[in-house]
Every structure is written in C-alpha cells, then in structure tokens.
Amino acid sequence: MRVSQTNLAGDLLLHLGHPSDGALHERLKRALRNAIRNGHIEVGTALPPSRQLATDLGCSRWAVTEAYSQLIAEGYLEAQTGSATRVCWSNTSDADSQHLTPRHAPAARFDLAPGLPDLRAFPRRRWAEAVRTQVTTAAFTEFGYPPPGGHIRLRQLLAEYLGRSRGVSATPQDVTVCMSVTDGVRRICRALRADGITAVGCEEPGWTRLREVIRAAGLDPVPIRTDSGGLRTDDLAAHTGLRAVLTAPAHQFPLGSVLAPERRAALLHWARQVDGVVLEDDYDAEFRYDRRPVATVQGMDPSRVVLFKSLSKILSPALGIGWIVAPPHWTNHLHQADQTASQPPPLDQLAFAALLESGAYDRHLRACRKRYRNRRDAVVQALAEQLPHAPISGIAAGLHLILRLPATLDTAAVVTAAAARSLRVADLTTYHATNDHADHGLVLGYGNLADNAVTEAVRQLHQAIQDSR
Amino acid sequence: MRVSQTNLAGDLLLHLGHPSDGALHERLKRALRNAIRNGHIEVGTALPPSRQLATDLGCSRWAVTEAYSQLIAEGYLEAQTGSATRVCWSNTSDADSQHLTPRHAPAARFDLAPGLPDLRAFPRRRWAEAVRTQVTTAAFTEFGYPPPGGHIRLRQLLAEYLGRSRGVSATPQDVTVCMSVTDGVRRICRALRADGITAVGCEEPGWTRLREVIRAAGLDPVPIRTDSGGLRTDDLAAHTGLRAVLTAPAHQFPLGSVLAPERRAALLHWARQVDGVVLEDDYDAEFRYDRRPVATVQGMDPSRVVLFKSLSKILSPALGIGWIVAPPHWTNHLHQADQTASQPPPLDQLAFAALLESGAYDRHLRACRKRYRNRRDAVVQALAEQLPHAPISGIAAGLHLILRLPATLDTAAVVTAAAARSLRVADLTTYHATNDHADHGLVLGYGNLADNAVTEAVRQLHQAIQDSR
C-alpha cells in the first residue's frame, strides 16, 4: 500500500512502537525509514512540514526535525532550501546490497555529531601486530570460551592501570570486561532490577542512548538537573525511593561540566544514606586539555560506585572493548545472572592487555590528547571568525563543544539546513528527556573531523544558520 | 560465618537463587563455589554424600553429583575413591590472581565434555594474517560503529555461501551477524516475547544452555520428546497455544539423530497451521562423516524458519562470530528492538568474510572433517577394546558420541570417579529437563581431545567405571 502525504501520520502512528523501544525521535526515524524502504512512500513524495507532522502525531517539532535530518544524512530524504523535504531513495533491486544501503552517499561530508574519536588515527599497525602476537603465541586453551568476567590477564592489568591513572581502587576480581559502556550499563541495570531497584537518576540533559538502555531494562530513568557544577546532587533527595544514579563526573555530556568537589562528597553521602549505588560513566576523562584530569568518584568509595568505561573514544568503537569496576555484590550479580554474556574476543583482550603493559596505550593517549587539543583550538578559532556572536562552552575537555544559538533561531531548522549541506550536527535539545528547558544550541563533535576540514565545516555551518533564518 | 557439613544444605538453599537464574545443578555449583571462595567452607571439610545433600535440598541426586564433579574438575573439590569429597581450595591471598582461579589445576587432563572443537587446530597464522590485512587496509570508516545487523560485506558473503553449502534461501538483509548461537537465541527470544509468544518447544534431551536462555528471556521451555528420527513432531500439536520450537535437525544434541524427512515436512506444516516459527539450530551440520550433509529446513520454507549458527565449533568460540537467518518480520524485530546489540568486531567480520571469499574457510572445513572422522574412528576402536559391552551411538556426525551404561550402574558416580582421575565426561541425564526418562549413559566429546590422548583417556574412563561399581 502506498502512503500519500495526507495519510502519512496515520501510517507512522501505526508503526511507532512502544516507548520501551526507545526515544520518540528514534522510533519515528525507524518508522519513516521502513516506510521508505518498503516502498510505502514513493520517491519524490514531498513530506509534510515538520510543524504539521508534529501536530498530526501529537509530538514535539524537534522529534520530527531530528528524524528528518538523520534520514537526510542517511540519504533517504533530500532537503532543499525553501522547498519541501522529499523522499529520494528507492528500493528497486531485489537481492543485492542496494536493499541495505540508501542510493545516495549515507555519510555526511562533515560529521560533527558527537560520539566518535578520530577514526583516521587508529593505530592500525600497532593493533594488528598486537593481535598477531597473541593469536600466534597464546596457549591453545585461549581459543576456548573465556571465563565469565573476562580474561584474568586483562583484569589484572586494568586494575593496576586504573589505580595509577584514574585513582580507581579495585582488585582484579572487581573488574568485569564488557563490550561498551552501553553494554555495561545494560548489564548492571538487569542486576539492579533483580535487586529490587526500579529507577535510575539520569543527568538532564544527558546521553540519550543510556536513558534508552535503562528504560529497555524495565527501569525508570528519572531526570536530575545539571549545571556548570555537574549533577545537581541536592535534587537527589527529592526523589523518595531513588537508590541509583548515573552520572559522568569527569566530563558531563553534553554540557562538559566537571562535578564540583562538594557535590562529589554529597553524591556519596546520598548513596550511603539510601543504601544506593552511583553508576559512574568515566566519560572523556582522558581528554582534559587545560587542567589535570579529575580522579574518579569510585576511588573515594569503591563500595558505593560502579564505574563504566570503554575504548570506543580512545581507540575505536569497532574493538568492542569496555569494562565495569564494581564492588563484589554487583560483580557477583553480573557473573551469576549472566554466565553467557558476550565478551570481546579473548585474544583481543590479550592484545589490549599487551598494549597496556608495554606503555603503548599511554603513549597513544598522550598523542591523542595533543591532537584533539590542537583541533579544539582550530575549531574554536574558526567559530570565533565565522560566528563571532555565538557563545561556546564545554571546551576544557572532551571531543565536542556546545555552540549556543539565540532563542529566536529555530535550532531544528539549523540542523536540517546543515544536513542539506552534508553537515551533520546535533541539536542540544535531543539530549533532553523533557521539554522543560531553555537550551538553544548545537553539540559540535570534532573528534572525527579531519584537521583540513575544520575551516570548511565551520563555513558550511555558518551558511546553514543563514539558510535557516 | 563458617559452614559445617551439618548446616551446608541450609546455607546453600539461601544462595541457590531462582529458577530463572538457570538450571538447578548450575545454581548449586555456583552457590557451592561461592561458599568455598568466600571461605564459608574450610579447606579439608568433607562434603556430605551426594545422596544425603540431595535429600536435604529436595533435589535429584544427579544435580548434586553434577555440581560436585564440575567443582572437582575446576579444582575446588577433591574426590578420592572410597572417601568423602573434600574442599581443597583456599582463599588466602588478597589482591592477586589466586582470588580468581582455584589453587589446583582448573582444567581436567582429559576433557571429554562436549562443546569444543580442537583448539590445537585453530588456523592461527591464517587468521592473524586475515585480521592484519583488514586492519591495515580497510577504509578508516570501518573503525566506527558497525551498522545494526552486521557488516554488509559479511552478510552478502554468508547469504551466498549458505545458499551454496546449506541450501539456505536468504538475501543479505535476511542475515544478522551475532556473537554465538546462545546470543542469537537470546535475541530472538526477546522478539518472540514482544510478539506475544510465551513458550518455546525444546528437544528433550537437548542443549541445557539454550533452555536456560529461553527461560531467562521470560519464555517457558516446553520439553518435546526426541528419538532416532529427531524431534517427535507429532507431539507438537498436543501443546495447545505453542507457536515456536527450537530444534537441531541436522544433528540432534546429544542423541545425534537426524530429523526424518517426513518430520521435516510435518514440522513446517505445524508451523504454518499455528502461524508459528521454527528455530533451527544448524548444529554440527558440517561434520557428517558417512553420508552427505543434510540441507537446512530453512531452505524448505524461509518464511517460517529462523536459522542459527556460529563458528564456535568450526573455528573457535573465542572469535565470537555467529549469524541468524530470519524472515523480514523477525529481522525487523531484531534490528528495531536492539539497535545497540553487541556484535563481533567489524574488522573480524571482514576477516571472516575474506576467508569465506577466498575458499580458505571451505578448505579448513574439509581438513576438520577429515581430522574428526579419524579421531572418531580411533575413539570408537578404543571403546570397543576397553568397554566391549557398552553400546555406542550417535557416531555418524558431530564431535561427540553416546556411550550407554547399564541401568545398574550409577552414572553420576561414574562422572565423579572420572573427575577424580582428571577426566571430564558428561552425564546424559544432564541434558534432560525432566526426570521422566531411562537414559543411562555418558556424552563423550572428542572434539578437543588430543589424538595421542585417545587411548589413555578411554583407559581412564574404563577405570573410572570400575571405581564406581
């Protein structure tokens, strides 16, 4: 059945799924993408203006513009200044790869969405050599099933390394190897639920995917405000019965604040009072440019904190290597409830362990820090030249910054105009769980932006802002 | 608190957990292992005889002997012929690896438990080279997040390869890369449940871990009898409301039967009648020694079958590479419900794709088939010499066989006596979900048994049987 513009909203409503399947803009994007891929919407069809579709669906306009702009970036839709957004992908072939990929280039020319390190800088030869050494020299028993919790060698080296570099207090058996922070949070959420915990406080704004993982595990994500001092720990006590909170003390996403010293103490005080647990996402802790790195909250009270970290922004998300540091109670839960939990390949665990042990990992980190600091300086300078009146913040650390836009400007329209220029940027609103805020701005990730593309990307952003006025 | 023999049962009952945490013997093993590791039971403590503990716990005796013998194999317990089983592991050191590994050698000298291929034969240099080529030559974008469903290159090559070698009918978009059959079944179970399916028929006897995964996903595993013709498809209709069944048509585990042709048709007829789905575990399909391999049921009706397979018994479980072939309805479910599902590292997916494409994978399979056929012949011959009166079955395919024991012999005692001789074997009873059967025998895996150890392993088994009389 073909869907025209007039019955699009009805068709989408049928396929939106449940809130437990994820955030509305994600579900809307999937429903729209499927309708296009299944041929329900013809090529060339003009989609209704975002304001109209939002009214028809009874949702916020940004959910619609976010879905539109992601599908523009993926090549399913085409946006032209002053004209309607149109479907530009058709499913004509039968059994080849065109089924799976849009007809147009799926990746934006300039990808400033946050969340990736510089993929060009992956230490290919060093990693290939580390893997080769392990694969050719390991005992044959290493090719069997890894023990629950991960390879003991890596757990030992991580416990040492994290103690030295992040102030973490852990024995090897407190370390569980997992595949990503998302994977780690998903697993701990199952353990929390089995233990009778029903809700997890989440930074507002915060990393959307982790909120979705919490919700998918059957727990209720409770928004807790953040400000320039990080999580508003004074808000925690207001939520009676709350016993778990997820926070990124080293570098709040997306605002970039560091948890203030008195709030670190208040956080742990709260956790002890409610017999609760702090889930510490040690986000971007390594990439602090202008001051010394902040140690983990975990080190202040290992009995009350579960720490999560992965290599996704240090080496590559493609490695699928992360870790959880947890007190025995939660570690036992993790291992007993989930004996068959997936792990990164044990030979890769050994390869990473070898990089930790030889110091190659530390050298890589130092090189990254220098690279990203220089790139941050270049981005800040280009923004100052092209957009001198737009305030920027969150530049002391990490791989992204916040560009504030005036409230008179429609941020969602800027994102869509940018996508039409093959520039992918994220609306700060996307990271809010509620509409109860006045955050107008963009999150600009520069981790995976080529050095020689900085000036042109910022120029295109400037143009996109002009387009959207 | 230290536990004496007299209050051991009470302590264990407190820590057994819920049926949703897994099979009773697994939970019992974990509870006992934890009690030893936490120091609740002192080194040297004699454990109560299995019959007594079973009575105290109100469970079957084999659950206890199974737990005992696994802990003997892991080095936590010591069994001596004619004497009580004793704790032999102590937790004395503080923060080193002894915390995590038993003091005694954890692995049995002869591991005849089923489930592993020959880890000595992993093609180390070929794999290391395939990974090196991908890591050093892939586009930098391959170091980002892989798309849901897996790398398109691998999905394309798998669709072609499975069509050619297994009679599978699939387009690349029907293939989802996952980490193992366990992982695949876990994921499909979530989709089944979201679709209103509440129970899954399971072969009885069958692979315990998959039953546990089904239960952990909130579905009810329903035992369906098997015999020499595989799954008793005539039993399916008796279970009103049943709409899903998990089966291994190519090689039933553990009995080794092949699903009879008329039952293949009956299975699909049933699935259409109830608007249901067949979950096909393409277990050991490659290792068929005396006849041509049997094609998949999936190829007979791709709209009603979800196929699962992994490299764990072909290359190594350490690679963590598997796949699901499913009709669009279930594939959409998999991708939409689980956008952040873990995958094997995309560079490993590309390395495996290269082995498929070059024919190296096919050559490896042929070499394996020859190696395992020769080893099977050697094991069968050694058994005929040492245990001429014990019938064997299930030798036409796969990496294990069934050795029947007389009903007068206590199989659980044989397993324990074997463990005391550092010989790990599995009690056939372990794979039954119910006690309603008369299967007396052992499952003997020879996949990971060194060729030069065959004679001695069978000799030790013979001795263990003598010990247990």
Q: So what's the pLDDT on residue A5?
A: 56
State the Cα–Cα distance between residues B297 and B282, nearest whole angstrom: 9
Q: Do B203 and B302 sit in the same domain of this protein? A: yes
Q: Which residues of A touch B120 (CB under 8 A)?
A: 140
Q: Do B296 and B389 sit in the same domain of this protein? A: no
Which residue segment(s) compose the domain that A394 sits in? 111-116+363-468
Contact partners, residue B264, CB within 8 Å, separation at least 6: B249, B297, B300
What are B284-294's pLDDT values in tens digits? 888 988 877 78
> Does any domain span residue A4?
no
Contact partners, residue B88, CB within 8 Å, separation at least 6: B43, B44, B75, B76, B77, B78, B103, B104
Q: Which residues of B touch A129 (CB under 8 A)?
A: 132
CB-defined contacts A:B, below 8 A? 158
Q: So what's the pLDDT on residue B305?
A: 98
Q: Which residues of B touch A179 (CB under 8 A)?
A: 342
B318 contacts A347? CB cut-off 8 A = yes
Q: Which residues of A touch B135 (CB under 8 A)?
A: 124, 127-128, 131
Q: Which residues of B touch A141 (CB under 8 A)?
A: 107, 119
Is the pLDDT reported for residue B95 higher than 50?
no
> Does any domain span residue A5?
no
> Total structural domains in chain B?
3
- By the 8 A CB rule, do B411 and B440 touch? yes
How far away is chain A from the Cα of B148, in angstroms, using its nearest Cα?
11
Contact partners, residue A274, CB within 8 Å, separation at least 6: A242, A243
A348 contacts B100? CB cut-off 8 A = no
How far away is chain B from the Cα of A352, in angstroms, using its nearest Cα?
14
| Chain B CA closest to residue A150 | B100
Q: So what's the pLDDT on residue A93?
A: 35
pTM of the model: 0.81
Q: Do B186 and B314 sit in the same domain of this protein? A: yes
Q: Which residues of B touch A337 (CB under 8 A)?
A: 21
How far away is chain B from the Cα of A124, in angstroms, using its nearest Cα?
6
B448 contacts A144? CB cut-off 8 A = yes
Q: Do B352 and B368 sit in the same domain of this protein? A: no
Q: Which residues of B touch A191 (CB under 8 A)?
A: none
Contact partners, residue A34, CB within 8 Å, separation at least 6: A15, A40, B332
Sign of the dihedral through C-alpha B158, B159, B163, B167: positive
- By the 8 A CB rule, do A281 and A247 touch? yes
**Mutating which of A132, A340, A448 best tests the B interface, going by the most B Cβ atoms within 10 A?**
A340
How far away is chain A from the Cα of B349, in angstroms, using its nearest Cα?
11
B99 contacts A345? CB cut-off 8 A = no
Helices (H) and strands (E) in chain A, counts: 14, 16
- The Cβ of residue A451 has, within 10 Å, a number of other Cβ atoms equal to 13
Q: Do A295 and A338 sit in the same domain of this protein? A: yes
What are B160-188's pLDDT values in tens digits? 999 999 999 999 999 999 999 999 999 99
Q: Which residues of A touch B91 (CB under 8 A)?
A: none
Q: So what's the pLDDT on residue B21?
A: 63
Give percent above pLDDT 90 in chain B: 67
B127 contacts A135? CB cut-off 8 A = yes
How far away is chain B from the Cα of A203, in angstroms, using its nearest Cα?
20
Give percent above pLDDT 70 in chain B: 91
How far away is chain B from the Cα of A116, in angstroms, using its nearest Cα?
7
State the Cα–Cα distance between residues B57 and B10, nearest whole angstrom: 8
> Does any domain span residue A11?
no
Domain boundary among A326, A341, A358: A358
The DSSP secondary structure of A138-156, one letter per residue, reads S-GGGGSPPPTT--HHHHH
CATH code for position A320: 3.40.640.10
> Does any domain span residue B256?
yes
State the Cα–Cα distance between residues A63 and A454, nearest whole angstrom: 28
What is the DSSP secondary structure assignment for residue B146, as one 8-state letter?
P
- The Cβ of residue B88 has, within 10 Å, a number of other Cβ atoms equal to 19
Q: Decide the pairing of beta strands A423-424 and A110-111.
A: parallel
How much is the mean pLDDT over chain B?
89
Q: Decide the pairing of beta strands B77-78 and A423-424.
A: unpaired
> Does any domain span residue B157?
yes
| Chain B CA closest to residue A315 | B143
| Chain B CA closest to residue A182 | B340
**Mutating which of B109, B332, B340 best tests the A interface, going by the most A Cβ atoms within 10 A?**
B340
Q: At what angle do helices A454-468 and A360-386 cross, to 10 degrees?
A: 40
Structure tokens at A344: 């990164």
A340 contacts B186? CB cut-off 8 A = yes
Closest residue to A342, CB basis, from B119, B172, B320: B320
Q: Which residues of B touch A120 (CB under 8 A)?
A: 140
3-class secondary structure, B404 = strand
Q: Decide the pairing of beta strands A86-87 and A77-78.
A: antiparallel
| Chain A CA closest to residue B132 | A128
State the Cα–Cα distance between residues A42 and B217, nearest whole angstrom: 39
Kindly list the distances between the CA atom of residue B235 and the CA atoms of A456, B179, B263, B457, in Å, as whole numbers in the listed order: 68, 32, 11, 39
pLDDT < 50 stretches in chain A: 1, 91-105
State the Cα–Cα distance between residues B352 and B155, nearest whole angstrom: 11
Is the pLDDT reported for residue B326 higher than 90?
yes
Q: So what's the pLDDT on residue B104?
A: 37
Q: Is A63 exposed, middle or buried (0-12, 13-18, 19+ CB in 10 A)?
A: buried
A125 contacts B140? CB cut-off 8 A = no
Structure tokens at A360: 């190659």
Q: Do B221 and B342 sit in the same domain of this protein? A: yes
Please give the helix or strand (H or E) that residue A279 lies within, else none.
Answer: strand A277-281
Closest residue to B156, CB basis, from A22, A97, A346: A97
B94 contacts A320? CB cut-off 8 A = no
State the Cα–Cα distance between residues B253 and B251, nearest whole angstrom: 6
CATH code for position B36: 1.10.10.10
A173 contacts B99? CB cut-off 8 A = yes
Closest residue to B342, CB basis, from A119, A183, A316: A183
The DSSP secondary structure of A226-240, one letter per residue, reads EETTEE-GGGGGGST
A144 contacts B316? CB cut-off 8 A = yes
| Chain B CA closest to residue A153 | B97
Closest residue to A131, CB basis, from B128, B173, B317: B128
Contact partners, residue A251, CB within 8 Å, separation at least 6: A257, A258, A283, A284, A285, A287, A288, A397, A398
Closest residue to B171, CB basis, from A95, A182, A209: A95
A34 contacts B332? CB cut-off 8 A = yes
Q: Which residues of A touch B94 (CB under 8 A)?
A: 171
Closest residue to B143, CB basis, from A96, A119, A183: A119
A209 contacts B336? CB cut-off 8 A = no
Q: Do A189 and A288 sit in the same domain of this protein? A: yes
A152 contacts B136? CB cut-off 8 A = no
Q: So what's the pLDDT on residue A49?
A: 83
Q: Which residues of B touch A99 (CB under 8 A)?
A: 171-173
Q: What ipTM does the predicted assembly reach?
A: 0.80
Q: Do B375 and B277 sit in the same domain of this protein? A: no
Q: Do A87 and A56 sit in the same domain of this protein? A: yes
> Does any domain span residue B14?
no
Name the pLDDT band for B72 (thresholds 50, 70, 90).
confident
Q: Which residues of A touch B96 (CB under 8 A)?
A: 156, 172
CATH code for position A418: 3.90.1150.10
Q: Do A37 and A170 sit in the same domain of this protein? A: no
> Does any domain span residue B2?
no
- The Cβ of residue B385 has, within 10 Å, a number of other Cβ atoms equal to 12
Domain boundary among A358, A373, A390: A358
Q: Which residues of A touch B368 (CB under 8 A)?
A: none
A213 contacts B340? CB cut-off 8 A = yes
> Does any domain span residue A312?
yes
A136 contacts B125? CB cut-off 8 A = yes
Q: Which residues of B touch A22 (CB under 8 A)?
A: 339
Closest CA to A200 of A244, A252, A238: A244
Q: So what's the pLDDT on residue A3?
A: 54
Closest residue to B320, CB basis, from A127, A182, A345: A345
Q: Which residues of B touch A110 (CB under 8 A)?
A: none
Q: Do A354 and A369 sit in the same domain of this protein? A: no
Domain boundary among B336, B358, B380: B358
B131 contacts A132? CB cut-off 8 A = yes
Q: Do A181 and A267 sit in the same domain of this protein? A: yes
State the Cα–Cα distance between residues A170 and B99, nearest whole angstrom: 13
Query: What secondary structure, in 3-state letters, does A353-406 show?
Result: HHHHHHCHHHHHHHHHHHHHHHHHHHHHHHHHHHCCCCCEECCCECCEEEEECC
Q: Which residues of A touch B337 (CB under 8 A)?
A: 21
**Mutating which of B347, B368, B448, B451 best tests the A interface, going by the most A Cβ atoms within 10 A?**
B347
Closest residue to B145, CB basis, from A317, A336, A347: A317
